[in-house]
Amino acid sequence: DVKVTQSSRYLVKRTGEKVFLECVQDMDHENMFWYRQDPGLGLRLIYFSYDVKMKEKGDIPEGYSVSREKKERFSLILESASTNQTSMYLCASSSPRGADREKLFFGSGTQLSVL
């Protein structure tokens, strides 16, 4: 069964801390994405990656960076966490080929609280 695993279900951090959110997929997918989900705003794309060491900005990249050193792993980094980054973070992956082309497979999310 396809699986996208996010390292933490809940995370509490202090303002100014550097925060790492990890995501691993076991489907050999080329594409990986980070979204944040906020009530009334839906899912908004932060960053995405089409291949190892490649990254592209989504719609709300400010305050975030990403790292993709291996195909299966995509990390989201909050350089200096702020309270307005309190949110649910969702990682997803997809393949550009095959019957499931364009289908996003999501992890269960990380609820981050910045105090």
Residue 84 has phi, psi (to 5 degrees) of: -75, 0
Residue 29 has phi, psi (to 5 degrees) of: -80, 140
Tell the smallest beta-carbon distance from residue 65 to another protein (Å).
18
The H or E element that residue 23 is part of is: strand 19-25
Tell the smallest beta-carbon distance from residue 97 to another protein (Å).
11
In the bound state with another protein, the residue whose beta carbon lies nearer, of 5 and 15, is: 5
The H or E element that residue 76 is part of is: strand 73-78
In the bound state with another protein, the residue whose beta carbon lies nearer, of 77 and 104, is: 104
Q: Which residues lie near another protein (CB under 8 A)?
A: 4, 31, 33, 35, 40-45, 48, 50, 58, 90, 92, 94, 96, 102-104, 106-109
Do 36 and 89 form a contact (C-beta atoms < 8 A)? Answer: yes
In the bound state with another protein, the residue whose beta carbon lies nearer, of 18 and 103, is: 103
